Amino acid sequence: MIWGCIPIASNSNNRELDINEQIRDKEIRLIGANGQQMGIMSPRDALRMAAEQDLDLVKIAPQAKPPVCKILDYGKYRFEMQKKEKEAKKNQKVVELKEIRLSLNIDTNDFNTKVNQAVKFLAQGHKVKVSIRFRGREMAHTSLGLDVEKRFAEALEGKAVVDKQPKLEGRSMMMFLSPAPNK
């Protein structure tokens, strides 16, 4: 049996669960150890019932009116929650954003090399940011940059989907691509 307030080590929700004497509400809704509704009562009575069963009183829904508390083994409950979080973290996939920089007057072989690199990134499941930086007088020819980025998107037809169309922001033109969904 644990007495006091113990923080749950979690990245997703850093919050503390009130247990036993930490529960200071006037009345609570109590759920028994095997899941049955025990009704609305004072925390003192609920704490006495938990102590009789050699278990803890844990506030599981503090935002409810009245707050919901449950009689359970807090150590076991915390272990199960950490196990669920670890499982959820294991199943999630981290998508990285890879950047490919093109120039306004890129040659054919350089262009093909950049396309092949983008294909590798997309095959790994990463998103790709294609950018062109305009220098000096190149700012007068932003339409040429738009043509280069559209040609890049056409070269990746079937392998990538354009998330965000080419857009000029300051001296850079950017376009975002993501892997095409498999059929």
Where are the domains positioned within the chain?
6-89, 97-179
Q: From CA 114, how far away is CA 121, in angstroms rounded?
A: 11
H or E element, residue 2: none
Q: How many angstroms from the chain centroid is the CA of residue 159?
A: 25
In the predicted structure, residue 5 carries a pLDDT above the cut 60 = no
Q: Which fold has domain 6-89?
A: Ubiquitin-like (UB roll) (3.10.20)
In the predicted structure, residue 62 carries a pLDDT above the cut 60 = yes
Q: Distance of CA 175 to CAs 71, 139, 160, 163, Å?
A: 54, 17, 12, 8
Average pLDDT, the chain: 85
Q: What pLDDT, in 10s, does the model give residues 121-132? A: 999 889 999 999
Token pair in block for residue 182: 């498999």
Cis peptide before 66 (omega within 30 of 0): yes
Q: From CA 141, how far away is CA 173, in angstroms rounded?
A: 12
- Matching CATH number, 97-179, of 2.40.240.20, 3.90.1150.10, 3.30.110.10, 3.40.190.10: 3.30.110.10
Contact predicate 132/148, CB 8 Å: yes
